[in-house]
Amino acid sequence: MLRTCRSWPLLMVVVLLFSACGQPPWNNPYPASQSGENILYGAFTERPKHLDPVRSYSSNEYAFIAQIYEPPLQYHFLKRPYELVPLTAHALPEVRYLDANGKPLAADADPDRIAVSEYLIEISPGIQYQPHAAFAKDEEGAYRYHDLNTQAVARINTLDELPETGTRELIAEDYVYQIKRLATPWLHSPIAGLMGEHILGFQALSEKIEDEAPDPVNGERPFFDLRQVAFEGAEVIDRYRYRIRLEGRYPQFVYWLAMPFFAPMPWEAEALYGQLGMEQNNLTLDWYPVGTGPFMLSENNPNLRMVLTRNPNFHGERYPGAGMPEDQAAGLLEDAGKPLPFIDQAIYSLEQESIPYWNKFLQGYYDSSGVSSDAFDQAIQFDAAGEAGLTDDMREQGIELVTAVQTSIWYMGFNMLDPLLGGDSERARLLRQAISIAVDFDEYISIFANGRGVEGQGPIPPGIFGHREGEAGINPYVFDWRDGRAVRKPLDDAKALLAEAGYADGRDPETGRPLTIYYEAMDAGPDGKARLNWMRKQFDKLGIELVVRATDYNRFQEKMRKGTGQVFMWGWNADYPDPENFFFLLYGPNRKVDGGENAANYQNPEFDQLFERMKNMEDGPERQAVIDRMTEIIRHDAPWSFGFYPKAFSLHHQWLDNVKPNLMANNTLKYRRLEPEIREQLRERWNPPVLWPIGALVVILILGSIPALMVARRRERSRAR
Amino acid sequence: MSAYILRRLLYAIPILIGVNLITFLLFFVVNSPDDMARMQLGDKRVTQEAIDTWKAEHGYDKPLLFNADAGGLGTVTETIFFDKSLKLFAFDFGQSDSGRDIGFDIRQRMWPSLAIAIPTLLVGLAISVSYALMIVFFRATYIDFGSVVLLVAMMSISGLFYIIGGQFLIGKLFHLVPISGYDTGLEALKFLILPVVVGVVAGIGSSTRLYRTFFLEEINRDYVRTARAKGLRERVVLFRHVLRNALIPILTGVVAVLPLLFMGALIIESFFGVPGLGSYTIDAINRQDFSIVRAMVFLGSVLYIIGLLMTDISYTLVDPRVRLS
């Protein structure tokens, strides 16, 4: 008996070893029931704050809501440069211009004469909403859950507790309703201020809603039906057509129509969530979206996972039949004309730390991944020409790499209100230009971004109209064109500029001491130390002493708003692919100290005048010429050192198809196609349970216990004597 | 005893007010209500008007601690501090700055925290006590010396190392359990193994050393000598006499931490993707959500006070010589 008991750990090990043969992977984080299913697995690192399209404005939120909500337009998945195409709209909007007397004007009319721009949008009939409790009706046709009593509401904690669902057809009124929501003060839309400048009567509507809406009860705003509020800026023409009126001309408005801000919102959803007690129980549009898109949010637990499931009522969009010439070879047109979406479900798990995220990707439990700094050397290598490629290990695993220069810029800004660096004096301008030469962003990209970036030559990144490639696109104040590439000017040129500015060897002529410049940094943590030391060294090349004022992001923003900083680094991510979205960061009336986004507080009358003209022009040679002149002004005045355009690297497994980076579109999940059988096979091959360590541990424990037992027995015997 | 408990509960009130005040001051030294509004409304295109509206709606438009414009009692009551603190004492945590019901979230998220904390505590306790007893049994031998060296080494290693090492070895190399994640019901078991193993291993060093000290203290007592003089075997002396008496400080120490198990493990939950209260607190700090931060600090303080009170009471239960007065 005793002998049997002693040998059971060994028996267990043997049983375990045999039982592991042919079993599915033990480390599979997903239930066995999902095995072989057409489910895409991804991760999110930061929980989305808002899912209400009126408030949502960040990429981690768009990753979800762009699959659910459908604005009238979208970006073509494959074509470049980015091209707007209809989504729920029947066609691109018809734009009509009117003068101050309401008379129609020609499309090429002088922008100064245009008093009103009218956008007529016609949506396709027959589009249905996802099944949702807001649409559920009883036998008499009354809404099932729109008039719940307080006790009933108090018992509801999730939307699943309202089991009946319904749907209805998408109508033009839903789009107008959402535009009115943008103006609703308590919904805090981030673009309310901007739209107030453009949509006719937007401010008045906002005030009207504030006046007419019922007051909050216990902090909750009762349902206020916005359909009853008249609005000249957006009106329903008929069931499928609506019209938006803008003040003057604003050609970039069409891009906003491809963003979730302008997605439809059924009044029934607000009527459901607007019942008192719903908000207290976390039942809001910020948590339970309602859309017409290819997917619906079937599980919203941002502390664990978010699940998008195929919308059974989706209107049947098809995969694009045309793209770029290289798309055919890349296999991106193999699914042309097939109905979307291809996958049944997408499960996104919360992964706050990069190491487990990366390891689970390598094990095949995530279909795609970014490349964190920790894993960069393991995944990426550069060839002699500086081109990024995968390491042998990654290639053996069948992993594929996709890179794209982002429509973003990281720049070093000089505060133009600063007495030393700012202003339009020749002295300050030469000083800024000298610094721009000295701060080597190519080195920065290499050291701190693992080579993931392209040195900036102007404010407009590649992929946006107005950006010029090659020799014509270099910043001649900082770079020379040599051997077919842009080469940073030698440091002696910077020193010469500095001397010309009156700061020979970087010394202040008044004090004879090195010139001191203050750098406002937002990365006060230990990670930022190396970056800040590097920045100090760049200035030191000119003999300038850089004093770093590191602080947190809140204080940094405060300094920017007050215009008290001197030099800083900041970035901008494009809202839409138009040069206006970058040049406005340097537009005089948009200065940060006046509440705008122009953090350098730059102001140049000629530039501002050209900006006013450029923003109203159609893309073409004339607009390019204006942009070239604006770029030249900025390069000459140097309120920014153009830093770099970040480059996105993403990896995906061989079983994920139709992956093409589209930096403007967020609704690309519907194009993804999976081969789950391959995934299943490879997961099993990559993750066999390794059981010998358990056996080894048991053996070590047994072997280790033998001398201990001997000592114990000897001790007890010695005492017995 | 009831008078003692009542007195301790009354002492708790100024402690909680003090903790609340310190939390408030520390939070608002770093974040202004404007910063909080910007965090909620986003960075891009936010106007000062929108910020002011958000502050008014969330009660952050008042002075922080002293309202000079209000007369009489209003100087104190018409402040952010008073508004946000009063309901806490009725355990009404209200809504987070992003609009979620904090009480609901706490009720939801305490279960994953407990699912990790309870097995970690029990298994850790069993292993540490057994190991400490074994070391004491073999005291003054190479096993004792080697174990102490090992325990000191284990104590010196950062908890983060155990987490990353555990994920690498057990999850990545041996493919035995998922590297991270969580699920509900029985599916949760496979996700709990690794964090529990890591939590236990990370805690063995310090707790075994502590328990060894307790046992060594007991082993030289007169009653032990008497037991040996009676001819009892060393094993019997250790398990029947020494263990029973040394358990008093061990159990009272455990009782003190029991209520805090609800609060979750900050780093473990974050690394293993466990949606518990530890990661809830970390997220709230990162998102500058003062409502959650103050609720969690308040809850932690209350649980800590309860833990200390339970320790006192447990003393009287396990040691008849102790009387509360």
Structure tokens at A444: 């920065």
Q: What is the mean pLDDT of residues A446-464?
A: 93
Residue A316 is assigned to a structural domain of this protein: no
- Total tally of structural domains belonging to chain A: 3
Ordered DSSP codes for B33-100: HHHHHHHHH-STT--HHHHHHHHHHTT-SS-SS--TTS-TTHHHHSSHHHHHHHGGGGT---B-TTS-
- Model confidence at A720, in pLDDT bands (50, 70, 90)? very low
Q: Taking CB atoms and an 8 Å cutoff, what residues of chain B touch A28?
A: 178
Residue A99 is assigned to a structural domain of this protein: yes
pLDDT at B324 over 80: no
- Among candidates A185, A190, A597 on the partner chain, residue whose Cβ is nearest the Cβ of B42: A190
* Alpha-carbon separation of residue B188 from A346, B173, B192 (angstroms): 20, 21, 6
Nearest residue on chain A to B144, alpha-carbon basis: A708
- Model confidence at A721, in pLDDT bands (50, 70, 90)? very low
Mutate which of B38, B43, B44, B238 to disrupt the A interface (most A C-beta within 10 Å)? Answer: B44
Same domain, A16 and A64: no
Structure tokens at A175: 């789009």
Same domain, A446 and A562: yes
Rounded distance, CA B216 to CA B222, Å?
A: 13
- Model confidence at B200, in pLDDT bands (50, 70, 90)? very high
Residue A323 is assigned to a structural domain of this protein: no
- Among candidates A26, A49, A351 on the partner chain, residue whose Cβ is nearest the Cβ of B180: A351
Residue A628 is assigned to a structural domain of this protein: yes
Using the 3D structure, point to which of A648, A676, A711 is the last residue of a domain: A648
Mutate which of B101, B111, B160, B172 to disrupt the A interface (most A C-beta within 10 Å)? Answer: B172
Closest listed residue to residue A543, CA positions, set A447, A637, A438, A639: A438
Structure tokens at A582: 């970058």
pLDDT of residue A1: 42
pLDDT of residue A8: 53
- Among candidates B38, B178, B271 on the partner chain, residue whose Cβ is nearest the Cβ of A29: B178
Residue B218: partners with Cβ closer than 8 Å, 6 or more residues away: B224, B241, B242, B245, B246
pLDDT of residue A616: 87
**Residue contact B104–A711, C-beta within 8 A:** no
The H-or-E segment that residue A455 falls in is strand A453-455
- Model confidence at A374, in pLDDT bands (50, 70, 90)? confident
CB A517 within 8 A of CB A547: yes
- Among candidates A190, A194, A690 on the partner chain, residue whose Cβ is nearest the Cβ of B174: A690
Q: Taking CB atoms and an 8 Å cutoff, what residues of chain A touch B50?
A: 188, 190, 192-193
Q: Taking CB atoms and an 8 Å cutoff, what residues of chain B touch A215?
A: none
User: What domain range is A210 assigned to?
Assistant: 48-284
**Residue contact B273–A47, C-beta within 8 A:** no
For residue A320, report the phi and psi dihedrals to the nearest 5 degrees: -60, 145
Strand partners, A43: A349
Task: Give the type of residue at B53.
Answer: T
Task: Give the type of residue at A599.
Answer: A
Q: What percent of chain B has pLDDT over 70?
A: 99
Task: Give the type of residue at A56.
Answer: S
Q: What percent of chain B has pLDDT over 90?
A: 39
Same domain, A479 and A552: yes
Rounded to 10 degrees, the C-alpha dihedral A279/A351/B110/B126 comes to 180
pLDDT digits (tens, 9 = 90+) for B152-172: 999 999 989 999 999 999 999
Same domain, A609 and A472: yes
In A268-318, the DSSP E strands lie at 295-301, 305-310
- Among candidates A191, A595, A689 on the partner chain, residue whose Cβ is nearest the Cβ of B48: A595
Residue A394 is assigned to a structural domain of this protein: no
Using the 3D structure, point to which of A238, A267, A284 is the last residue of a domain: A284
pLDDT at A578 over 80: yes
pLDDT of residue A707: 81
pLDDT of residue A425: 94
pLDDT digits (tens, 9 = 90+) for B56-112: 888 888 888 888 888 888 888 888 888 888 888 888 888 888 888 899 899 999 999
pLDDT at A33 over 60: yes
Q: Taking CB atoms and an 8 Å cutoff, what residues of chain A touch B180?
A: 29, 351, 353, 356, 360
**Residue contact B143–A219, C-beta within 8 A:** no
Mutate which of B176, B230, B289 to disrupt the A interface (most A C-beta within 10 Å)? Answer: B176
- Model confidence at A312, in pLDDT bands (50, 70, 90)? very high
- Nearest Cα of chain B lies from the Cα of A554 at a distance, in angstroms, of 6
The H-or-E segment that residue A224 falls in is none
Same domain, A418 and A563: yes
Structure tokens at A99: 């003068």
Q: Taking CB atoms and an 8 Å cutoff, what residues of chain B touch A188?
A: 40-41, 50, 53-54
Nearest residue on chain B to A193, alpha-carbon basis: B47
**Residue contact A28–B178, C-beta within 8 A:** yes
Structure tokens at B199: 């939590």
Structure tokens at A287: 């948590």
Hey, which of B147-156, B227-236, B251-260 has the most confident mean pLDDT?
B147-156
pLDDT of residue A4: 45
Q: Taking CB atoms and an 8 Å cutoff, what residues of chain B touch A280?
A: 95, 101
Residue A666 is assigned to a structural domain of this protein: no
CATH number at residue A560: 3.10.105.10
- Model confidence at A115, in pLDDT bands (50, 70, 90)? very high
Same domain, A234 and A278: yes
CB B252 within 8 A of CB B234: no
Rounded distance, CA B207 to CA B246, Å?
A: 13
Q: Taking CB atoms and an 8 Å cutoff, what residues of chain A touch B32?
A: 554
> Please, which contacts does B281-289 make with residues 24 or more away whose CB atoms are closer than 8 Å?
B283/A47, B283/A303, B284/B96, B287/A49, B287/B39, B287/B97, B287/B98, B288/B31, B288/B35, B288/B36, B288/B39, B288/B97, B289/B36, B289/B96, B289/B97, B289/B98
- Among candidates B99, B138, B143 on the partner chain, residue whose Cβ is nearest the Cβ of A284: B99
**Residue contact B175–A363, C-beta within 8 A:** yes
Task: Give the type of residue at A356.
Answer: P
Same domain, A170 and A240: yes
- Among candidates B32, B41, B273 on the partner chain, residue whose Cβ is nearest the Cβ of A351: B273
Q: Taking CB atoms and an 8 Å cutoff, what residues of chain B touch A690?
A: 173-176
Q: What percent of chain A has pLDDT over 70?
A: 96
**Residue contact B46–A716, C-beta within 8 A:** no
Rounded distance, CA A116 to CA A118, Å?
A: 6
Closest listed residue to residue B101, CA positions, set A299, A148, A149, A279: A279
Burial class (CB in 10 A: 0-12, 13-18, 19+), A2: exposed
CATH number at residue A239: 3.90.76.10
pLDDT digits (tens, 9 = 90+) for A617-642: 889 999 999 999 999 999 999 999 99
**Residue contact B104–A157, C-beta within 8 A:** yes
Structure tokens at A628: 């070239």
- Model confidence at B247, in pLDDT bands (50, 70, 90)? confident
Mutate which of B102, B175, B239, B288 to disrupt the A interface (most A C-beta within 10 Å)? Answer: B175
CB A461 within 8 A of CB A408: yes
Residue A318 is assigned to a structural domain of this protein: no
Same domain, A11 and A63: no
Nearest residue on chain B to A365, alpha-carbon basis: B178
Question: Using the 8-state DSSP alphabet, how is residue A690 labeled?
Answer: -
pLDDT at A18 over 50: no
Q: Taking CB atoms and an 8 Å cutoff, what residues of chain B touch A378?
A: none
- Nearest Cα of chain B lies from the Cα of A431 at a distance, in angstroms, of 31
pLDDT digits (tens, 9 = 90+) for A139-185: 999 999 999 998 899 899 889 999 999 999 999 999 999 999 999 99
Q: Sort strands A485-488 and A479-482 into parallel, antiparallel or unpaired.
A: antiparallel
- Cα angle vertex B57, ends B52, B63, to 5°? 65
Q: Taking CB atoms and an 8 Å cutoff, what residues of chain B touch A281?
A: 101, 104
Same domain, A586 and A713: no
In SS3 terms, A341-354 reads as CCCCEEEEEECCCH
CB B291 within 8 A of CB B60: no
Closest listed residue to residue A239, CA positions, set A271, A264, A208: A264
Same domain, A577 and A540: yes
- Nearest Cα of chain B lies from the Cα of A707 at a distance, in angstroms, of 10
Count of pairs with CB atoms under 8 A, one residue in A, one in B: 157
CB A286 within 8 A of CB A47: no
Strand partners, A651: A369, A401
Mutate which of B174, B271, B274 to disrupt the A interface (most A C-beta within 10 Å)? Answer: B174
Using the 3D structure, point to which of A284, A305, A325 is the last residue of a domain: A284
- 3-state secondary structure at position A519: strand
Same domain, A18 and A151: no
- Cα angle vertex A20, ends A17, A23, to 5°? 170
Look over chain A and give the mean of its residue pLDDT values, rounded to a whole number. Answer: 92
pLDDT of residue B128: 95
Residue A203 is assigned to a structural domain of this protein: yes
Task: Give the type of residue at B278.
Answer: G
Closest listed residue to residue B302, CA positions, set B153, B88, B105: B88
Rounded distance, CA B181 to CA A388, Å?
A: 32
What's the complex ipTM? 0.86
Q: What is the mean pLDDT of residues A458-481?
A: 95
pLDDT at A233 over 60: yes
pLDDT at A234 over 90: yes
Q: What is the mean pLDDT of residues B42-65?
A: 84
**Residue contact A26–B177, C-beta within 8 A:** yes
Same domain, A154 and A245: yes
CB A315 within 8 A of CB A303: no
Of A716 and A225, which is predicted with more confidence?
A225
Structure tokens at B91: 């355990």
For residue A651, report the phi and psi dihedrals to the nearest 5 degrees: -115, 150
